[in-house]
Structure 1
C-alpha cells in the first residue's frame, strides 16, 4: 500500500503530469512522469478506467499496480509525480507481466 504522502490525489496534478510529463507505453500500461513541488516526496497516481473491466477487475489491477509502484518509489527522483494508466490488456495480465511492463516503461521514462 502507498502511504498518504506518496499518493497523488488532486486532479490538477494528474492533468499537468499527463499533459506535460514524459511518456512511455507498453501493451498494458502508459506511464507519465512529471515534476512536483521542490520539497514534496515522490507521488504516484493510478488511472484505471471502466474500459479495463468491471469493478472487481479494476480493483484487482489497482492493487497489483499499487504494490509494484511502492517498490519503485526509491528509484524516482525527489519530487517526481508518476501517473500510471492501465490499458484494457491489463485485465488479463498477470502480476509478473504488469511488473515487467512497469519496470520497462519506468526505465524508458527516467532515461
Structure 2
C-alpha cells in the first residue's frame, strides 16, 4: 500500500497529470508523468500563468495514481492488476523527483501480463518519460 501522502485521490490531480504530463505507452500500460520544473529554471518565460498546486511544491513527495478500466476485465481481474501495479510503483516512487505526479493506466493486455512483464513495461515507460525531450527540426 502506498502512504496517504503518495496517493492521488482527486480527479483534478489525475486530470492535471494526464493533460500536463508526458505520456509514454509500453506494452500493457500507459504512463503519464509530470515532473516539476527544476529550481534553476526560469519561470517567467512560461506563457502560462503561475499555478500554485500541491504537485508543484518541491517538498511534496512523488505521488501516484492508477486507472484500471472495465475494459481490463471483471472486478477480480482489475483488482489483481491494480495490486500488482501498486506494488511495482511503490518500489520505484522514491526514485522520482520530489513533487512528481505519476498516473499509470492499465491497458486490456495487462490482465494476462505477468508481474515481470508489467515491471519491464513500467521501468521502460518511466525511463522514457523522465528523459529530456529531443528537439525536432522541421
Q: TM-score, normalised by structure 1?
A: 0.97
Question: Please, which runs of 5 or more residues in structure 2 have no aligned partner?
Answer: 37-54, 132-138
Aligned residue in 2 for 1:69: 89
RMSD: 0.8
Q: Deviations over 1:23-47 (max 9, x none)?
A: 1101200000114131311000000
Larger gyration radius, structure 1 or structure 2? 2
Superposition pairs of residues 24-63 of structure 1, within 5 angstroms: 24-34=24-34, 35=36, 36-38=55-57, 39-63=59-83
Question: Please, which runs of 5 or more residues in structure 1 have no aligned partner?
Answer: none
Question: 1:110, 1:19 → 2: CA distance?
Answer: 16
Aligned residue in 1 for 2:126: 106
Pick the structure with more strand per residue. 1
Any idea what SS the aligned residue of 1:72 has? helix
Any idea what SS the aligned residue of 1:53 has? coil
Runs of 4+ in 1 over 3 A off after TM superposition: none
Q: Deviations over 1:63-95 (max 9, x none)?
A: 000000000011111100000000000000010
Pick the structure with more helix per residue. 1
Aligned residue in 2 for 1:4: 4
The number of aligned residues is: 111
